[in-house]
Amino acid sequence: MALVIPVILCGGSGTRLWPLSRSGFPKQFLVLSGDGSSQSLFQQAVERINSIVNSVVDNNITLGETLVVTNEDHRFLVLDQLRELKSIKATLLLEPVGRNTAPALSMAACCAQQLANNQDPILVITPADQTIQNQTAFTKALQQCISSVEGSVDSIAILGITPTAPETGYGYIQRIDSKDVNNAYEVKCFVEKPDIETAKTYLSEGSYLWNSGMFVLRASTWLAALEEFRKDIYDASVKAWKNKTEDASGGVGFIRPGKEEFKNIPSESIDYAVIEKCPGSRFPIKMVELDAGWNDLGAWDAVWQVGKRDENGNVTIGDTLLTNAKNSLVHASSRLVSAVGIENLVIIETPDAVLIADRKNSQDVKSIVTQLEAQGREEKNLHRKVARPWGWYDSVDEGERFKVKRIQVKPGASLSLQMHHHRAEHWVVVKGVAEITNGDQVIILKENQSTFIPQGQTHRLANPGSEPLEIIEVQSGSYLGEDDIVRFDDSYGRQ
């Protein structure tokens, strides 16, 4: 019986889906699939892989604990979304910095071996930001990949996507024609993203498929192949793993590789480090074809493609009104968005930013993000409404020497014990019960009651109740940046 461990790679930033996707809340945590699902792309990826065991007729798969590789800053987003998937048991591997997918998978392979009690588990690896429309077809193809790996030492199986257009945004896999008993083709080679004429040639030849980035291999196979092809990454990854620390929160384990050691790992993708070097080596690659409505939602045009279109080809989300509009995507987050006489446009509205783009140029949104970064603008990283481990805050208004926030604190949660050098704060409770530490005093406030936190005063906000707590915070002072926080104690380990 094969021990299968799902591995979710959850470290992308999704810059091409700005302004909805931002580095502080990237696309994998958004609901974008357009199929009516209320689940984020990350939640869909977790459930998609974990559901394979429910469909195996001969019960030849034992499903292990899900491994989620993400960065330290996103751990509470992952935790919150995992809690909604009540049947999923997971361990989080927290990267201190981004080093691309090869080091991420190396951490997962080491962790899988540790969790497997001397077994050599089969890893099923998927990015966290894709969508699949046909779960049955996906499950069948994935089971064929698992069977292919289970029966062949050192083999790797990859899912190749049946191409539907001469796409220039994907890498391609060239296969050899004959299939084995597991319906898998031998991979001849991998090719980079082509120009449009080359892509048309690939489509007409019929032996080229899109590289999905989803594949199956044993933990030992990845580590052996990495050591052979990129020993520098292998050695640095093993060193970072040996210096790991472990803790837990809410029944979910956190594993952190050695911080300084991890920073020294060369940054490289799984494909470049290993996979593209495997054809013709002692690590044969098989490919199972997947025709299941796959999309990596790499740009707003892709979101339009998978969305539910009306009779005029429009996909609308939120409060929208359209007249004489065709083949457009309109997404309203916080207010009414209306459009007249448009065609092939993308309009994305958020409380603090609006994007308007021609659909065919939606890949170029990344250039806007580059400009935001060059200007040091906060809109690159954070939404107006910002998720925090204790709840969220929404910056409602601000001007010279003042800022107004709406703050919600989860039941039983609390902010850090902190102080500010440059601002004072006024708090008004609008919902629930607040326990407030204000210097040496601890008080309880209820709805319509308020307090004042002087500049430089040590303070803390907590919710002792069973319902969410909401307050309105008015800040005043010479500097109101989020970095003016000195933390003395924090339940979530933040500095």
Q: Are 286 and 119 in contact (CB under 8 A)?
A: no
Domain closes at, from 370, 393, 422:
370
Q: Are 175 and 209 in contact (CB under 8 A)?
A: yes
CA atoms within 13 A on the CB side of 266: 12
Got the DSSP string for 11-41?
----GGGTTTSBTTB-GGGS---SSS--S-H
Q: Are 68 and 91 in contact (CB under 8 A)?
A: yes
* Parallel, antiparallel or unpaired: strands 450-453 and 172-179: unpaired
Q: Are 175 and 287 in contact (CB under 8 A)?
A: yes
Q: Are residues 267 and 394 in the same domain?
A: no
Q: Are residues 466 and 406 in the same domain?
A: yes
**Closest-CA residue to 315 (of 297, 325, 302, 330):** 330
- Residue 300 falls within a domain, yes or no? no
Q: Are residues 362 and 390 in the same domain?
A: no
Q: Are residues 423 and 395 in the same domain?
A: yes
Say how far residue 245 (Cα) sits from the centre of its chain.
23
Q: Are residues 105 and 247 in the same domain?
A: yes
- Residue 14 falls within a domain, yes or no? yes
Question: Which segments of 274-321 does DSSP mark as H helices, in order?
Answer: 300-306
- Residue 494 falls within a domain, yes or no? no
- Residue 178 falls within a domain, yes or no? yes
Q: Where residue 403 sits, what CATH number does that domain have? A: 2.60.120.10
Q: Are 83 and 250 in contact (CB under 8 A)?
A: yes
- Residue 495 falls within a domain, yes or no? no
Q: Are residues 353 and 410 in the same domain?
A: no
Q: Which residues of 374-385 are buried (b: 16+ CB within 10 A; e: fewer)?
A: eeeebbbbbbbb
Q: Are residues 213 and 115 in the same domain?
A: yes
| Measured distance CA(417)–CA(391) in Å, rounded | 16
- Residue 398 falls within a domain, yes or no? yes
- Residue 297 falls within a domain, yes or no? no
Ordered per-residue pLDDT tens for the chain, 495 residues: 789 999 999 988 788 999 999 999 999 999 986 555 689 999 999 999 998 876 444 457 888 999 999 999 899 899 999 999 988 899 999 999 999 999 999 999 999 999 988 789 999 999 999 999 999 999 999 999 999 999 787 899 999 999 999 988 899 999 998 888 888 999 999 999 999 999 999 999 999 999 999 999 999 999 999 999 999 999 999 999 999 999 887 778 899 999 999 999 999 999 999 999 999 999 999 999 999 999 999 899 999 999 999 999 999 999 999 999 999 999 999 999 999 999 999 999 999 999 999 999 998 999 999 999 999 998 999 999 998 989 999 999 999 999 999 999 999 999 999 999 999 999 999 999 999 999 999 999 999 999 999 999 999 999 999 999 999 999 999 999 989 999 999 988 776
Helix (H) or strand (E) holding 241: helix 231-242
Task: Please enumerate in sequence order all residues whose Cβ is within 8 A of that of 425, keeping only pairs 6 or more positions apart, or say none.
Answer: 452, 453, 459, 473, 474, 475, 476
Domain closes at, from 370, 401, 423:
370
- Residue 42 falls within a domain, yes or no? yes
Q: Are residues 355 and 285 in the same domain?
A: no
Domain closes at, from 228, 262, 290:
290
Residue 45 identity (one-letter amino acid)? A
Q: Are residues 129 and 51 in the same domain?
A: yes
Q: Are residues 156 and 255 in the same domain?
A: yes
How many domains is the chain partitioned into structurally? 3
Which residue segment(s) compose the domain that 454 sits in? 385-489
Q: Are residues 82 and 185 in the same domain?
A: yes
- Whole-structure pTM over 0.85, yes or no? yes
Q: Are residues 364 and 389 in the same domain?
A: no
Q: Where residue 83 sits, what CATH number does that domain have? A: 3.90.550.10
**Closest-CA residue to 81 (of 29, 129, 35):** 29
